[in-house]
Amino acid sequence: TRTPVNVTVTGAAGQIGYALLFRIASGHLLGSDVPVKLRLLEIPQGLKAAEGTAMELDDCAFPLLRGIEITDDPDVAFDGANVALLVGARPRTKGMERGDLLAANGGIFKPQGKAINDHAADDIKVLVVGNPANTNALIARSAAPDVPAERFTAMTRLDHNRAISQLAAKTGAAVSDIKRLTIWGNHSATQYPDIFHAEIAGKNAAETVNDETWLADTFIPTVAKRGAAIIEARGASSAASAANAAIDHVYTWVNGTAEGDWTSMGVVSDGSYGVAEGLISSFPVTTKGGAYEIVQGLEINDFSRTRIDASVKELADERDAVRELGLI
Ligand code: NDP
């Protein structure tokens, strides 16, 4: 019998947490033969709701779920953690300045990074979902100097999945026929979904579409603004698809990308493609054996260069702002 994997989820009582926890417990995060122990971190006001969710998890009698612990103490929540999903964050409220937003999130992600540094298992893998995800990941990472930097990642998989879906709808292809799509940059409205290296059933996607106006005026803004469109339609934010993307991100990280394909992850830049070293930016990555590599050698045309640079500039600005606040 396998030792259970410790999975910590922050903001566990929130909307995304509610859509996420049941799939972790049923084996979708790591694999259908991997037992898990859940640690749920919440702020004190969220503890009671987290207990309610834990009661429902019990009531599912999931064979793979070997325990649930609920706490408001990061040191307890991350003790021995193998996988950490940082979902809880301070949302931007009306009239809030960016500096206030970054400072509020620094107050969450800095102590969590330190707790991960001091208490997590040696093989810890961290995914930041809570926004601004890339910069929150940067803050957590900076507070964890003993953890290899590449273990801190930010989620752009939802953007990646949205882009695949839009491209499939445009071309009539099956989503499973679309490979090598890339999200570059920040998980924000400046993100750049790139189809120039993507393939549809083995043929180049940009050539198949052959419509730069659609690309610039429809595809890119539709993907980048999809979150707002869902809030408009549903009256609530995209919790289930965000949870699904978090599952996909970790599953791919642990279990590997398919031969000939890649995925998109916010990872610490090594300077590839002119992205300043140390920024947590989305790149095309392949994964194998629990590790990942940034795909190298892709040719970046002018259309892509401008858009990648704009999103990376936003990341650099966010980094400078949190540096000024003493958060990194
Ligand atoms: P959600 O569960 O809906 O969202 C949580 C975070 O995920 C937000 O920062 C949200 O960003 C982000 N997110 C990233 N991608 C997406 C996406 N595609 N769609 C929607 N959200 C996305 O928020 P709730 O308010 O329902 O729940 C948050 C929970 O976190 C609360 O229970 C709160 O108590 C808890 N919390 C816990 C903390 C902790 O454990 N220390 C700290 C802070 C909060 P965005 O704001 O842009 O929507």
Question: For a pocket test of ligand 1, which of 38, 42, 112 has the largest count of ligand atoms closer than 8 A to its C-beta?
Answer: 42
Residue 42 Cβ contacting ligand 1 at under 6 Å:
yes
**Mean per-residue pLDDT of the chain:** 97
The CB density around residue 37, as the number of other CB atoms within 10 Å, is 18
* Run of H or E including 267: strand 263-268
Number of H helices, E strands in the chain: 12, 14
In single-letter form, the type of residue at position 97 comes to E
Classify residue 171 as exposed, middle or buried by CB count within 10 Å of its CB (0-12, 13-18, 19+).
middle
User: Which residue bears the tokens 């190298």?
Assistant: 296
| Stretch 34-62: mean pLDDT | 98
In single-letter form, the type of residue at position 200 comes to I
CA 314 to chain centre: 18
Residue nearest (by alpha carbon) to ligand 1 atom 23 = 14
Report pLDDT digits (tens) over 307-328. Answer: 999 999 999 999 999 999 999 9
Enumerate residues 6+ apart whose C-beta is below 8 A from 97: none
Report pLDDT digits (tens) over 124-174. Answer: 999 999 999 999 999 999 999 999 999 999 999 999 999 999 999 999 999
User: Which residue bears the tokens 């005026």?
Assistant: 217
Residue 91 Cβ contacting ligand 1 at under 6 Å:
yes
ipTM: 0.94
Cα gap 6→23, rounded to integer Å: 15
- What's the pLDDT band for 34 if we cut at 50, 70, 90? very high
Interior angle at CA 235, CA 230 and CA 240, nearest 5 = 55
Judged by DSSP in three states, 259 sits in coil
Cα gap 88→150, rounded to integer Å: 21
Which two three-digit tokens encode residue 82?
Answer: 């193998």
Q: What is the 3-state secondary structure (H, E, C) of 7-75?
A: EEEECCCCHHHHHHHHHHHCCCCCCCCCCEEEEEECCHHHHHHHHHHHHHHHHCCCCCEEEEEEECCHH
| pLDDT (0 to 100) of residue 80 | 98
- Residue 88 CA, ligand 1 centroid: distance in Å: 4
Would you say 263 and 164 are in contact if contact means Cβ atoms under 8 Å apart?
no
Which two three-digit tokens encode residue 296?
Answer: 């190298």
| Verdict on whether the full-model pTM lies above 0.95 | yes
Cα gap 154→174, rounded to integer Å: 27
User: Which residue bears the tokens 């995800």?
Assistant: 133
